[in-house]
Amino acid sequence: MTSPARSSVASLRAQAYASFQQQIVAANIRPGQFISQRELMQLIGMPLGAVRELIPRLEAEGLLRTVPQRGLQIAHVDLKLINNAFQLRLLLEREAAVRFAASVSDADLRAIEEAHLAIVRRARSGVIDDTLLSDATMVDWGLHDLMIDASHNELISDVYRINSLRVRLIKLEGTTLSAEVLLPAMEEHLWFIDALKQRDTVAVAQRLTHHIESAHRRVLGLPRPDMPWSSEKLV
C-alpha cells in the first residue's frame, strides 16, 4: 500500500513535469537555454525539492543536461535531433493512424473535421492573429495526440509524449505554426481526415507520411512536397 507521503511526492513530480511541458508549449523554455535550478523552480512554480526530483527524469529523456559550472541546459536542436525525432514520430504515428482509422466513430470524425474546417474558414475570412494560430496549433496537435492515445498503450503514449516535446523544441527554433504554414498544414490534415472517413488504411498511412515529411522538410528549410490534392475541394 502506498503511503500518503510517497503519494504526495509522486504527485509533486507529476505536477513539476507537467508544468515543464507547458513551459515548452508556451515557448517560455527555449532550445539550448541555460537555466539554474532556482530559475527553473520559479518558472514552473514548484518547490526546489520537486525540481531536483525532476532533473534526472529530464536528463534521462534527453530534454535537459547538466553542464558543470554553467547550470542546466535545455536540449540543443541540431540536425541529428531533428532527423531522429521526425523518424520516431513517423514510426509511432503511422501505426497509430492505421489503427485509429478502424476504431474511430463517424461522429468523432465529423467533429474532428469540423474543428479543422472552422480554422480554415477563420484563416480565409480574416486576419491570422495569435489567437487563431494558438487555436490552430491545439487542433493540429490534438488530432495527433488523439490517435496515439486511441491505441490504449501507455508505453507508446509515454514515448510519443517525450518525442513530441523534442518536436516542439525543434519548432521553437524558427518553425512554429505561422500565418504562412497554417493553411497548408490544415489542408494536409483535411486531406488525411478524408482518408480516415473512407477507412482507407493505405491512404491513411500514405497521407500521414506526406504530412510528417512535409513538416520535417520545413524544419530543414527545404521546399514542401508538391500538394497532391486541390485545396479548394476541401472546404
Q: Is 130 exposed, middle or buried (0-12, 13-18, 19+ CB in 10 A)?
A: exposed
Q: What pLDDT does 8 receive? A: 60
| CA 169 from centroid of its chain's CA atoms | 9
Q: Give the percent of the chain with pLDDT over 70.
A: 89
Please state the rounded mean pLDDT for residues 184-208: 95
Q: What pLDDT does 191 receive? A: 95
Mean pLDDT score of the chain, rounded to an integer? 87
Q: What pLDDT does 29 receive? A: 84
Q: Give pLDDT tens digits for 141-195.
A: 999 999 999 999 999 999 999 999 888 888 755 445 566 788 888 999 999 999 9
CA dist 163 and 63 (Å) reads: 9
**Confidence category of residue 2, pLDDT binned at 50, 70, 90:** very low
Residue 9 or residue 203, greater confidence: 203
Write down the pTM of the prediction.
0.81
| CA 66 from centroid of its chain's CA atoms | 25
Q: Give pLDDT tens digits for 23-56.
A: 887 778 888 899 999 999 999 999 988 898 899 9
Q: What pLDDT does 235 receive? A: 52
Q: Which domains does the chain have, with CATH numbers?
A: 4-74 (1.10.10.10), 79-234 (1.20.120.530)
